[in-house]
Every structure is written in C-alpha cells, then in structure tokens.
C-alpha cells in the first residue's frame, strides 16, 4: 500500500518536514537491519480521535531497544507525547503511526555500538491491511518462524521482518492474502505480521509466546475482550491441522485489527463466514476503538485533530 506523505515527522525531539527525514546510505541500519519499531493506529471518535494503547506500544519499543542494547534518550512518556504531537501537528486522523529507532551513520561493521541511535515518528493515512472484505484466504507458509535463541521474537525488530517478507511474498504469489508460519518444531506460530486465534467447541485458542510469536498488543486486547465476554481462552501449542478443523479463525494486529479467515489452504474455516465468537470480539473491539462503546479499559489516548482524512478501504 503506497505511503501518503504528511507535513511533519518527529525526529530526535523535533518536528521536521516530511521530505527532510532522510538517512545516509552508509547508515548501519541499511546494511545490518539494526532497527526496532512499532505500528500504532489512531481512530476517529464521535468527539475527536484516540490513539490505541499508546503507552503499551511505546513500552514495547523501549523493551525491543533494550533487548538489542540500543539505549534510547527518551522515556515511554516522552515518546507517547511525541506521538500525540506529530498527529496534532499533521492534523490527520484516522491514521497509522510508525515510531522507529535505528542505528545511524557512524561506523561500518557488524558491531553497532558506536553508531548513533536515531528516533523518528511518522503518521499517515492507511487502510485495510489483509485483503478480502469477506474474510481472508490464507495458506500455511513453507517458511518457518525464527527458532528460539537465534533472533529474539519478542523484539519488534526490522531484521525479523525479512522472514515476514518471505512469508507474505510467497502467499501473494500463490494467490493468497497472507501466509501462516509454523515454528521450528512444526507447531502453529503466526502470520507474517499478525497473531493467530482459532475457535473450536466454543473455546478460543491462541499460540503462546514460546511458539516464536510477537507479544501482540491487539492480541492482548482480544484476550481481555474475550474473557470479559465469558469466552474461555487457552494459550497452547497447536498442530497445523487445528486450522482445518477449527470452527472459526482470525488474525489480530495493529494493521490487521481483527480479520477473520475464510479459508486456509483452500479449506473453508467453518462455513467460511465470520463465526459468532469472532463476531462478538470484532464488534466489541471496533465499538471501543471507534468510540461507540465505553473505553472501559482506558485504551485510548485522546488527540486534538481538527482536520480528518478518511482512510481508504
């Protein structure tokens, strides 16, 4: 999906024009993928706009940086305020927000320690991520997720998404909307950029962090919503065939939000439509983020945006 430029980007504590947010070709991140980042959504509300789980996203960015020994000069609160500042300066909502910290221009070589750390935050309009208005047709990828103790799956790092790119490209080339990866032991892991949920017998199952999945913030939100609706939630390792015999299945993620799966490997999930448990979670999630239901979990950070740009479907 093409990026729509906005007026400003936050860089190391200052707002700069979009076109000035550039890096040198010899920056460490270009050669070694040394970046950590976040994806956040800001939703329009009846009386304004709100950023979804902003503090949690900024905490994960700080955590990812710590795992990769990237000391940041900004606290979670400062980074959260920077997100609000750039959204209000650009006057664009709803929108997608991309904070990123990376090793910049300084030295070349695998050791990154002496390369400076740059922090940028951009926001821009962005619509539906996983294609398919009637549910996504997905496949099980031939590419596995990262093995434990190779690259840390709990860090949302740019280098990890080289694996995701292979999963997504393979899926689209073969006519699917998205791919689902298995872990190194052959158990279900996640999509290229989404956590995975399966419903069977009225119980909601999801893959645990030990199966090389990102600790998704939307994943956590869905678990919270499901429990509040009285739905039993089990986190456990699952074999691939659970996808074929599940009654319902769906992806979660900042980009994917809550996207139900119509089929996996050309096998319908249930009858292919959004099932009752997925529908209940979907309704509650979008009710909260769009301001149609009470924000009882305090998930939304208000922003003052006077000019609204609709995000395309």
| Bond prior to 240 in cis (omega within 30° of 0) | no
| Cα separation, 127 vs 256, whole angstroms | 10
Residues 270/248, Cβ–Cβ less than 8 Å: yes
156, 227, 296, 306: the catalytic one is: 156
What is each CA distance from 16 to 26, 56, 74, in whole angstroms? Answer: 22, 25, 18
Radius of gyration of the chain (CA): 19
The residue count for the chain: 313
DSSP character for 143? Answer: S
156 annotated active-site: yes
Residues 249/269, Cβ–Cβ less than 8 Å: yes
Contacts of 213 (CB under 8 A, 6+ apart): 145, 153, 189, 190, 195, 196, 207, 219
Q: What are phi and psi of 278, to 5 degrees?
A: -60, -45
CA nearest neighbour of 167 among 178, 158, 157, 177: 178
CA nearest neighbour of 240 among 148, 139, 168: 139
Residues 286/101, Cβ–Cβ less than 8 Å: no
What is each CA distance from 264 to 120, 178, 229, 233, 277, in whole angstroms? Answer: 37, 10, 27, 22, 19
Residues labelled catalytic: 156
């Amino acid at each position: 999906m093409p990026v729509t430029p906005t007026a400003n980007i936050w860089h190391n504590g200052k707002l700069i024009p979009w076109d000035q947010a550039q890096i040198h070709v010899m920056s460490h991140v270009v050669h070694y993928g040394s970046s950590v980042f976040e994806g956040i959504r800001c939703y329009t509300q009846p009386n304004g706009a709100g950023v979804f789980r902003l503090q949690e996203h900024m905490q994960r960015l700080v955590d990812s940086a710590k795992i990769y020994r990237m000391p940041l000069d900004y606290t979670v609160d400062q980074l959260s305020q920077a997100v609000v500042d750039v959204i209000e300066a650009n006057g664009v909502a709803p929108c997608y927000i991309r904070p990123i910290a990376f090793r910049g221009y300084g030295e070349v070589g695998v050791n990154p320690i002496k390369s400076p750390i740059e922090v940028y935050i951009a926001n821009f309009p962005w619509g539906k991520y996983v294609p398919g208005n009637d549910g996504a047709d997905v496949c099980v990828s031939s590419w596995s997720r990262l093995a434990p103790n190779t690259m840390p799956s709990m860090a949302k790092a740019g280098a990890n998404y080289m694996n995701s790119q292979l999963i997504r490209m393979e899926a689209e080339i073969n006519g699917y909307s998205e791919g689902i990866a298995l872990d190194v032991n052959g158990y279900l892991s996640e999509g290229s950029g989404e956590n995975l949920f399966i419903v069977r017998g009225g119980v909601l199952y999801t893959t645990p962090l030990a199966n090389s999945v990102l600790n998704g913030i939307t994943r956590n939100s869905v678990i919270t919503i499901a429990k509040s609706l009285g739905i039993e939630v089990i986190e456990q390792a699952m074999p691939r065939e659970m996808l074929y015999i599940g009654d319902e299945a769906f992806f979660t993620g900042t980009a994917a939000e809550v996207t139900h799966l119509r089929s996996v490997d050309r096998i319908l999930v249930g009858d292919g439509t959004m099932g009752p448990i997925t529908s209940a979670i979907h309704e509650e999630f979008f009710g909260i983020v769009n301001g149609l239901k009470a924000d009882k979990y305090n998930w939304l950070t208000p922003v003052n945006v006077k000019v609204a740009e609709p995000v395309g479907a």
